[in-house]
Homo-oligomer: A and B are copies of this chain.
Amino acid sequence: MGYVKLKIKDVAEKAGVSVTTVSRVLNGEKYVKDELKAKVQRVIDDLGYSPSHIARSLVRQKTNLIGIIVPDLTSSFYSTILSSIEEAVSLNQYNLLVCNINEDTDKEYKYLNIFKEMRVEGIIIMHEKLNDEIRQFINKLDIPVIFSSVCPEDQKFVSVIIDDYSAAYDTTNYLIGLGHERIAFIGGDLRDVTSGKNRYFGYLKALTDNGIPVVEDYIRFGNYKTQSGYMLMKEMLASEPRPTAVFAVSDDMAVGAMNCIHDHKLNVPDDISIIGFDGSQLTELVRPQLSSMEQPIHEMGKTTVYSLLDLIMDKPSAPKEDIILQHHLVIRDSCKARS
């Protein structure tokens, strides 16, 4: 079905309206009467095509370019997944334009505009704090968009993610299974649905399910970077009694916390166990090596690219819903059972 090229004319004919009207409905323009809009929409639905699907087939051009928006290139997670994405993109004779926005949504809007002007064939977004301007822009965009590792609320595009809530739940449960009860949590930004909110609620649920009280002093929120993990750990080391285990929602923050513990002449894992999240290259680069709840980074990068290519080529295999990959606990040397 994906191979049948539906023309805007076919929709117009079947709905008994002009091509311009269909085009206006597709573009979400306001000066179309509701009645007319419903009629056109019904035809589109009957034919089983999404508006973007039709619109796209009208303007598609081969540039072999894919644009990607990355929130922070110094993050070990993003630099690791970017390698996998680039590998898959190259294998398919596409070229990748990387735009780093450093969490700046103004930049994101600019770069999306540049991508549009350059007629990239597809866009990968790895950032989830979308403002209204950006939402509107990508919703109107005539280019396939896919989200990777994030899944912002209220948007119509496919995301390639893990189940962050369950992953965080499993991580906390692992520490509880080791006998820990004073489990500190170094979280992300709660405005980030995937990496902030879902991981936080997974942690809370595991504590509650095990009858462990939630201690406010053991909960901090950072910006995913090592320095922030270091500073937040420093605050928590002042707690009485101090935590016996720490769950940080990024490997970078976990390493920051680990360094802070080391600099305070305490030992990981003898005095405090630490577990990270992501499975970036950093986990094997530090000593002790960092246990981590791993996203299947390589698979995630590959799946993102192949799904986007399917969307670009309107293949029947193109994903219609979010793709949820499996998370894995990888135990290295940074956690220990409580004696």
Contact = CB atoms under 8 A, between A and B. Distances in A.
A233 to B, nearest CB: 14
Nearest to A82: B73
Interface stretch (A37-45, A53-61, A90-98): A90-98
Contacts of A110: 95
A251 to B, nearest CB: 11
B99 A99 contact: no
A24 interface: no
A110 B96 CA distance: 11
A168 B283 CA distance: 30
A161 interface: no
Nearest to A107: B90
Contacts of A73: 73, 79, 82-83, 98
A47 interface: no
Interface string A104-131: 1001001100100010000000000000
A208 interface: no
A230 to B, nearest CB: 10
A286 interface: yes
Contacts of A18: none
A226 B83 contact: no
A100 interface: yes
A253 to B, nearest CB: 12
Q: How many copies does the complex hold?
A: 2
A255 interface: yes
Nearest to A102: B86
Given A98-B97, A114-B95, A259-B285, A74 B83 contact: yes
B287 A262 contact: yes
A214 interface: no
A333 to B, nearest CB: 11
A74 to B, nearest CB: 5
16 contacts: A73-B79, A73-B82, A73-B83, A73-B98, A74-B82, A79-B79, A95-B99, A96-B100, A97-B99, A97-B114, A98-B98, A98-B99, A98-B100, A255-B285, A262-B287, A287-B287
Across the A-B interface, give the 4 residue pairs with the lowest CB-CB distance, nearest first. Answer: A98-B98, A74-B79, A262-B287, A97-B97
